[in-house]
Amino acid sequence: MTEYYPIFLKLKDKLCVVIGGGQVAERKILSLLSCQAQIRVISPNLTPKLRDLAERKKIDWESRPYQEGDLEGAFIVIAATNDPEVQERIFQEAEKRGIPCNIVDKPSLSSFIVPSTIKRGNFVLAISTGGASPALARRLREILEREFEEEFEIYVRLMGKIRESLLRMPLDPAEKEVKIQRLALAPLWQYIKRGYWHLIEVILERENLKEIIPEIVSFCTFVESPKI
Virtual torsion, Cα 205, 120, 15, 48, nearest 10 deg: -140
Three-state DSSP class for residue 153: helix
Class at the top of the CATH hierarchy for domain 115-148: alpha beta
pLDDT of 225:
44
- The 10s digit of each residue's pLDDT in 69-111 is 999 999 999 999 999 999 999 999 999 999 999 999 898 899 9
pLDDT category at 211 given cuts 50, 70, 90 is confident
- The 10s digit of each residue's pLDDT in 143-181 is 999 989 988 999 999 999 999 999 999 989 999 999 999
Rg from Cα positions in the chain: 22
Vertex 87: Cα angle to 73 and 33 (nearest 5): 50
The Cα–Cα gap between 153 and 212 comes to 16
> How distant, in Å, are the alpha carbons of 57, 99, 153 from that of 72?
21, 9, 38
pLDDT category at 134 given cuts 50, 70, 90 is confident
The residues, any chain, with a CB within 8 Å of residue 139's CB and separated by 6 or more, are: none
Indicate the angle between helix axes 213-220 and 197-206, nearest 10 degrees. Answer: 160
pLDDT at 224 over 60: no
Task: Tell me the whole-structure pTM to 2 decimals.
Answer: 0.81
The Cα–Cα gap between 35 and 25 comes to 16
Looking at the domain that runs over 15-114, which CATH code has it been given?
3.40.50.720
- The 10s digit of each residue's pLDDT in 4-35 is 899 999 999 999 999 999 999 999 999 999 99
The Cα–Cα gap between 43 and 21 comes to 6
